[in-house]
Amino acid sequence: MSKTLAIVVPAHNEAEVIDVFHARLAAVLVGVAADATVVYVDDGSTDATWQHLASLAEKDRRVTALRLSRNFGKEAALTAGLDHVDADAVIVIDADLQDPPELIPDMLAKAEEGYDVVYGSRSSRAGETVAKRATSAAFYRVMNRLANVPVPRDTGDFRLMSRRAVEAVRELRERQRFMKGIFAWIGYRQVALLYDRDPRKAGETKWNYWRLTNLAVEGITSFSTAPLRMASWVGACSALVAFAYGLWIFVKASIWGDPVHGYPTLMVVILFLGGVQLLALGVIGEYIGRTYMEAKRRPLYFVEARLGGGSDVAPASRASLDRQRDAKKPVPGE
C-alpha cells in the first residue's frame, strides 16, 4: 500500500473553479489511507488563480503552491509539479473538474494490483462538440500508426504513477514535451481506468483548435520520424511520375510531332512539384527547429514563488536533472 500520495494540479486562469475543485479533492482525500499532499502549479495565470492558491496553501497544510515566472505551457507546468513531489504514488489531474477527483480511490486500488501507471481512459466526453471528438479520435489513430510507442486512445494526463514511474519521467528532459507520449514511452505495467468525462464546471478551455493542432504536430514529431520518411517517399514517387511523363512526351513528340501545346499541363506539373518540395522542406524544418530548441538546452521553467507545505524540491528530482549527463551544477527547472 502506498504510504504517501501526492496530487499534482497544473492551473492556468482557473480562479473560477479552483476552490470548488479543492473542496471536492479534500473530501476525497479524507477517505484515503495514505498521507496525502497537493501541489498546485500556477502556470503564469493572469487572473486571481495565484491568490486563490495562496489562500489554500495558508488554510490547508497539505497544499504547496508553485507560481511559475510566466506561462510556460501545460507540459512544463506538469513537469514542474512532478519535480516538486516526493511520494510513493503521484496523481496528475486538471483543475477544471472534467476529470473527477472521486476516481482517485479507484486508481489507488488498481495500483495495489501491481501497476505502475493507472491512466484514465474516457468512455464518454460530455460537453465537447462532435468535431472535437472526431478530430481527437483521428489524432490518436494517426499517432498510433506513426509513433514508435503506442499512445492510449481517449486518454489525457489524468493518471496515477508509482515512484519509479515518476523518477523515469524526470529523466526525460527534452524541451519539446508531449507528456502523453512521455508517459507511454517509459513503459512499466500500465492499465486503463474507464470513466465518463464531465463537462468543464467553470471558466473557458485553453485548448482551441490552433493549440490542439500544434500539440498534435508536437506529439507526432517528438515520437516518430515517419513524416520524414513520408516526405522522402512522396518525393521519390513524384520524381518517378515526372520521369514517366517526360518519357511519354518524348515518345509522343518523336512519333506524332509536338505543336507546342500543353501550357496548362506544364503549369500544373510545375506547381505540383513545387508544392511537394515546399511540403518536404516544411517537414524537414519542423525537425530542424526541434533540434535547434533542444541544442540550446534552456531550462524548462522557472519558479517565481513557492508557498505552503513543500519546503524545497524533492531530493529525487534534484538528482534526476541533467547532472548525471553533464557533470555540472543543474539550472533550476532544467
Q: Residue 50 pLDDT > 80, yes or no?
A: yes
Residues 172 and 234 in one domain: no
Residues 132 and 256 in one domain: no
Q: Say if strands 63-68 and 35-42 run parallel, antiparallel, or are unpaired.
A: parallel
- More confident of the two residues 148 and 64: 64
Is 26 inside a domain boundary? yes
Closest alpha carbon to 137 in 216, 230, 227, 223? 216
- DSSP reduced 3-state for 154: coil
Residues 9 and 145 in one domain: yes
Residues 121 and 213 in one domain: yes
Q: Residue 101 pLDDT > 50, yes or no?
A: yes
Q: Which backbone phi and psi does 68 adopt, to 5 degrees? A: -75, 155
Is 209 inside a domain boundary? yes
Residue pair 101/175 in contact (Cβ under 8 Å)? The answer is no
Residues 266 and 249 in one domain: yes
pLDDT score recorded for residue 160? 92
Q: Count other Cβ atoms within 10 Å, centred on residue 285.
A: 11
- More confident of the two residues 314 and 69: 69
Residues 138 and 197 in one domain: yes
Average pLDDT score over residue span 299-309? 83
Is 333 inside a domain boundary? no
Residues 252 and 278 in one domain: yes
Residues 83 and 127 in one domain: yes
Residue pair 90/314 in contact (Cβ under 8 Å)? The answer is no
Looking at the structure of the chain, the number of domains it has is: 2
Q: Residue 321 pLDDT > 60, yes or no?
A: no
Q: Residue 14 pLDDT > 50, yes or no?
A: yes
Is 332 inside a domain boundary? no
pLDDT in tens, 143-174: 666 667 777 777 778 889 998 889 888 888 87
pLDDT band at 297 (very low <50, low <70, confident <90, very high): confident
Is 261 inside a domain boundary? yes
DSSP 267-319: HHHHHHHHHHHHHHHHHHHHHHHHHHHHHHT--S--EEEEEES--S--HHHHH
Residue pair 68/80 in contact (Cβ under 8 Å)? The answer is yes
Q: Residue 236 pLDDT > 60, yes or no?
A: yes
> Which residue matches cell numbers 514535451?
177
Q: Residue 322 pLDDT > 50, yes or no?
A: no
Residues 166 and 253 in one domain: no
Q: Residue 327 pLDDT > 50, yes or no?
A: no
Residues 247 and 219 in one domain: no
Residue type, 44: G
pLDDT band at 193 (very low <50, low <70, confident <90, very high): confident
Q: Could you give the residue ranges of the DSSP H alpha helices within the chain?
A: 18-30, 49-59, 74-83, 104-111, 130-146, 163-171, 179-185, 209-223, 226-256, 263-296, 315-319, 323-326
Q: Say if strands 190-197 and 155-162 run parallel, antiparallel, or are unpaired.
A: unpaired
**pTM metric for this prediction:** 0.67
Is 230 inside a domain boundary? yes
Distance of CA 40 to the CA centre of its chain: 18
**Could you list the residue range(s) of the whole structural domain that residue 197 is in?**
4-224+298-326
Q: Residue 289 pLDDT > 50, yes or no?
A: yes
Q: Residue 77 pLDDT > 70, yes or no?
A: yes
Residues 283 and 309 in one domain: no
Q: What percent of the chain has pLDDT over 90?
A: 4
Residues 270 and 182 in one domain: no
pLDDT band at 330 (very low <50, low <70, confident <90, very high): very low
Average pLDDT score over residue span 277-295? 74
Is 331 inside a domain boundary? no
Contacts of 20 (CB under 8 A, 6+ apart): 97, 201, 202
Q: Residue 310 pLDDT > 70, yes or no?
A: no
**For all residues of the chain together, what is the average pLDDT?**
75
pLDDT band at 40 (very low <50, low <70, confident <90, very high): very high
pLDDT band at 329 (very low <50, low <70, confident <90, very high): very low
Look up the CATH number of the domain holding residue 134.
3.90.550.10
Is 334 inside a domain boundary? no
